[in-house]
């Protein structure tokens, strides 16, 4: 019985010797120790919603909303706490231990939670944006066929995302990573009666799964090199210049980056994100813009020292930079030609994620995460506002919209604030974060990044122009001009507009938490935990760069308004006219989808799968069946030829002779007793006579 106890006992281990700061004490300590509730509460809500949701007055919404409110409040408390005393706290709960023979020791699987600047920032984003989106969803999803299930799945996402960002080890990261993938699958395919939605959901899952191979392999290789799944052990090994890890450093870095590319929709894995817009708009807002897709950037941030260290991941920085730059520029261009307002925002998200990745590639930890932070607010807002429009006009297409600013003023103004923030107009949040990225790209180009970084900087500025251009287009087509759709659009109910206003406020002022030189609070939050080699947070605002970025944005807005601001004819033709060469390429999204479809999906699903099945049924089964048939043939030969005609011949002849004889003799047997008796006596008499004669 004693064995059982030790088996069941949960051992909590002291965490992170890498954590430079001591565990917080007093109330803060309690707060940090209780932070495990942050991922657990939404997951508990999932169970409760599934079991009891339908019986509740708000059909389970209140449970989801309550869980998110809890997360939001807790994260705010942690944020304040972190300000008071920077925290670097982690706890682990062992869930299994597996012996490792080569080198000895054990590989320990753990659950755990981290409370540090980076994770608190993510808690805050998920909790606060999530809270607004959940509130909004109550209005948006009203009357939906699966209202309760929607909130259950949405809570799976919230829980999974928090599992991900609270993870002190790579295993839990994978768990959270896949949980949000699951939630993404469930919610993209929320209206699964239509197979187009299912196809989009499956596509998102599979593309992510392909990229996850990188994550899996990276985690495996790193864990075996270090002997632990913990981030702290991994980063300690980096700091100590551990040779086992250095040997595989490039592979680990590459594999993890591939994983990040999938989740964060980096080129060429971005193809799933625009299709993911098949899901309800709140889902697009929270998952496919604000939080889930930033998980890859978060991973790069968590592993930042690894990617900075020479001999480990530093060699990959140019790759990360280039992928980010490609994504930000190519993604932005496609947004120019989309008619579906959600697709415009989706490609915009792809583009902005490219900015974050490029920042990480340039070694700008704070800049990348700061853009993640502000982007969550303004892009979440833009999606919710777009959802409000879609709710009103019952169409995703901007060709069905127009002139809506008169019908829905609140939506209009919040959308404009979000657009300006995205375009990077001072003093809205996007300005500060985009400027920070431009500054760090510039810094990189001056400090070892060379021509590549300069090129990326140019692309980033061009991207700023493109961003402003497509947002100007979207605003003009949606809210100005004449209404093109059917029916009478009207402003959304308050349950939807209040979250818009809340997010608009955050999108407006969110950037003020990190004013270079004046108020670098955000930098301080994030810097508390780990030594950040090479994170060159700009000490002061680079006015020249800021001016260039702002000018690019203003130019984009001006040109966009000039083209799309007046009464419009057919939009599609105008687009074609304006960008004749690029248009077909952009409209087909660089033919990436077709490439994947024809080069990978179809061959695997079609010929390859069929060939495998054929080889199974015809070749392998053919061999088996041929063995069976041959055995039958052989048995027929042995039985019919040898046995029946050979050996049995004599035996059968004897039997046949006996039968014939019996047939002949049976006539004697008449059944008449007296005849038998007569024969008997006759015999006796013959015997007597015989005796007399011969005896």
Binding residues among 87-146 for other proteins as defined by CB under 8 A: 94-102, 106-107, 109
Of 504-543, binders to other proteins (CB under 8 A) are none
Residues 205, 267, 373, 443: which binds other proteins (CB under 8 A)?
A: 205
| Only segment of 277-285, 488-496, 529-537, 614-622 that touches other proteins (CB under 8 A) | 614-622
The answer to whether 298 and 372 have CB atoms below 8 angstroms apart is yes
CA neighbor of 35 nearest in space, from 84, 96, 4, 79: 79
Give the shortest CB-111-to-other proteins separation in angstroms.
8
Is 301 among the residues that bind other proteins (CB under 8 A)? Answer: no
Task: Give the containing element (helix H, strand E) for 106.
Answer: strand 106-116
Number of residues that bind other proteins (CB under 8 A): 76
Q: What is the largest CA-CA distance in the chain?
A: 156
| Complex with other proteins: residue 6 or 570, whichever CB lies closer | 6
Residues 7, 26, 573, 692: which binds other proteins (CB under 8 A)?
A: 7
The answer to whether 171 and 111 have CB atoms below 8 angstroms apart is no
Is 672 among the residues that bind other proteins (CB under 8 A)? Answer: yes
**CA pair distance 44, 63, nearest whole angstrom:** 9
Residues 599, 609, 647, 649: which binds other proteins (CB under 8 A)?
A: 609
Residues 12, 625, 635, 652: which binds other proteins (CB under 8 A)?
A: 625
| Only segment of 135-143, 505-513, 514-522, 667-675 that touches other proteins (CB under 8 A) | 667-675
Fill in the per-residue mask, 54 to 93: x = in contact with other proteins (CB under 8 A), - = not in contact.
----------------------------------------
| Complex with other proteins: residue 450 or 628, whichever CB lies closer | 628
Give the shortest CB-284-to-other proteins separation in angstroms.
20
| Only segment of 282-290, 377-385, 509-517, 605-613 that touches other proteins (CB under 8 A) | 605-613
What is the torsional sign of CA 64, 70, 73, 78? negative
Residues 40, 56, 76, 206: which binds other proteins (CB under 8 A)?
A: 206
Residues 608, 642, 655, 657: which binds other proteins (CB under 8 A)?
A: 608
**CA pair distance 3, 65, nearest whole angstrom:** 42
> Parallel, antiparallel, or unpaired: how do β-strands 514-515 and 106-116 relate?
unpaired
Give the shortest CB-662-to-other proteins separation in angstroms.
9
Of 166-185, binders to other proteins (CB under 8 A) are 171, 174-175, 177-179, 182, 185
Is 692 among the residues that bind other proteins (CB under 8 A)? Answer: no
CB atoms within 10 A of CB 23: 18
Residues 27, 52, 192, 519: which binds other proteins (CB under 8 A)?
A: 192
**CA pair distance 126, 121, nearest whole angstrom:** 9
Strand partners, 94: 110
Of 316-345, binders to other proteins (CB under 8 A) are none
Q: Where are the alpha helices (DSSP H) in 336-428?
A: 341-361, 365-393, 409-423
The answer to whether 369 and 121 have CB atoms below 8 angstroms apart is yes
Give the shortest CB-486-to-other proteins separation in angstroms.
25
In a 10 Å sphere around its CB, with 0-12 CB exposed, 13-18 middle and 19+ buried, how is residue 217 labelled?
middle
Residues 243, 446, 613, 635: which binds other proteins (CB under 8 A)?
A: 613
Quote the tokens at residue 595: 């490439």
Residues 53, 189, 218, 534: which binds other proteins (CB under 8 A)?
A: 189
Quote the tokens at residue 670: 């008449």
Residues 12, 243, 446, 612: which binds other proteins (CB under 8 A)?
A: 612
The answer to whether 127 and 71 have CB atoms below 8 angstroms apart is yes
Is 658 among the residues that bind other proteins (CB under 8 A)? Answer: no
What is the total residue count of the chain? 695
Of 220-239, binders to other proteins (CB under 8 A) are 220-221, 223-224
Place of tokens 């540090």: 116
| Only segment of 214-222, 513-521, 582-590, 650-658 that touches other proteins (CB under 8 A) | 214-222
**CA pair distance 451, 431, nearest whole angstrom:** 25
| Only segment of 219-227, 279-287, 490-498, 589-597 that touches other proteins (CB under 8 A) | 219-227
> Parallel, antiparallel, or unpaired: how do β-strands 519-520 and 514-515 relate?
antiparallel
Residues 509, 599, 629, 688: which binds other proteins (CB under 8 A)?
A: 629
Q: What are phi and psi of 227, to 5 degrees?
A: 85, 15
The answer to whether 365 and 532 have CB atoms below 8 angstroms apart is yes
Q: What are phi and psi of 312, to 5 degrees?
A: -110, -95
Quote the tokens at residue 497: 């507009």
């Amino acid at each position: 019985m004693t064995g059982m106890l030790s088996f069941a006992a949960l051992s909590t281990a002291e965490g992170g010797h890498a954590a430079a700061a001591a565990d917080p004490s007093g109330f803060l300590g309690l707060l940090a120790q209780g932070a495990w509730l942050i991922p657990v509460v939404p997951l508990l809500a999932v169970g409760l919603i599934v079991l009891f949701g339908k019986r509740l007055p708000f059909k389970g919404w209140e449970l989801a909303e309550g869980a998110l409110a809890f997360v939001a409040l807790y994260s705010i408390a942690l944020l304040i706490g972190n300000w008071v005393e920077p925290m670097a706290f982690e706890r682990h709960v062992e869930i299994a231990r597996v012996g490792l023979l080569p080198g000895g020791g054990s590989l320990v699987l753990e659950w755990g939670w981290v409370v540090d600047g980076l994770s608190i920032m993510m808690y805050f984003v998920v909790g606060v944006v999530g809270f607004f989106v959940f509130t909004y969803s109550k209005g948006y999803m009203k009357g939906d066929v699966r209202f309760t299930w929607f909130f259950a799945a949405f809570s799976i996402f919230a829980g999974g995302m928090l599992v991900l960002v609270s993870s002190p080890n790579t295993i839990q990261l994978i768990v959270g990573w896949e949980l949000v993938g699951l939630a993404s699958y469930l919610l993209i395919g929320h209206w699964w009666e239509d197979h187009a939605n299912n196809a989009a959901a499956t596509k998102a899952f599979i593309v992510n799964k392909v990229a996850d191979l990188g994550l899996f392999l990276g985690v495996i290789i790193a864990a075996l090199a270090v002997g632990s799944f913990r981030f702290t052990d991994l980063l300690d090994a980096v700091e100590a210049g551990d040779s086992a890890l250095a040997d595989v450093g490039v592979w680990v870095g590459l594999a993890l980056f591939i994983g990040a590319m999938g989740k964060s929709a980096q080129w060429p894995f971005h193809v799933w994100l625009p299709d993911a817009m098949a899901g309800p708009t709140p889902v697009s807002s929270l998952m496919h813009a604000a939080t889930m897709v930033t998980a890859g950037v978060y991973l790069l941030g968590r592993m930042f020292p690894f990617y900075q260290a020479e001999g480990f991941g530093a060699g990959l920085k140019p790759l990360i930079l280039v992928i980010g730059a490609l994504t930000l520029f190519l993604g932005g261009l496609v947004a120019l030609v989309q008619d579906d307002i959600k697709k415009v925002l989706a490609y915009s998200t792809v583009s902005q994620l490219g900015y974050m990745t490029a920042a990480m590639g340039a070694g700008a930890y704070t800049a990348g995460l700061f853009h993640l932070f502000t982007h969550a607010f303004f892009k979440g807002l833009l999606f919710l506002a777009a959802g409000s429009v879609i709710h009103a006009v019952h169409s995703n297409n901007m060709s069905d919209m127009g002139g809506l600013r008169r019908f829905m003023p609140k939506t209009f103004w919040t959308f404009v604030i979000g657009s300006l923030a995205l375009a990077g107009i001072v003093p809205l949040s996007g300005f500060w974060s985009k400027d920070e990225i431009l500054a760090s790209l510039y810094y990189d180009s001056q400090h070892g990044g060379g021509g590549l970084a300069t090129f990326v900087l140019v692309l980033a500025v061009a991207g700023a122009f493109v961003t402003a251009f497509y947002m100007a287009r979207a605003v003009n087509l949606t809210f100005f001009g004449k209404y093109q759709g059917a029916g009478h659009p009207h402003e959304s109910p308050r349950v939807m507009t209040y979250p818009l206003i809340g997010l608009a406020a955050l999108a407006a002022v969110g950037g003020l938490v990190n004013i270079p030189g004046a108020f670098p609070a955000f930098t301080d939050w994030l810097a508390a935990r780990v030594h950040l080699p090479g994170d060159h947070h700009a000490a002061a605002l680079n006015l020249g760069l800021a001016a260039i970025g702002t000018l690019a944005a203003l130019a984009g807005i001006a040109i966009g308004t000039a083209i799309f601001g007046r009464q419009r004819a057919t939009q599609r033709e105008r687009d074609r006219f304006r960008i004749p060469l690029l248009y077909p390429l952009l409209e087909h999204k660089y033919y990436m989808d077709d490439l994947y479809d024809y080069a990978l999906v179809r061959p695997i699903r079609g010929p390859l799968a069929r060939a495998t099945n054929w080889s199974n049924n015809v070749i392998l089964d053919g061999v088996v069946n041929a063995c069976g048939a041959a055995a039958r043939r052989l048995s027929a030969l042995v039985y019919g030829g040898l046995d029946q005609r050979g050996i049995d011949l004599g035996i059968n002849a004897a039997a046949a002779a006996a039968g014939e004889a019996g047939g002949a003799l049976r006539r004697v047997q008449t059944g008449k007793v007296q005849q038998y008796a007569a024969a008997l006596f006759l015999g006796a008499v013959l015997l007597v006579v015989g005796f007399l004669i011969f005896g």
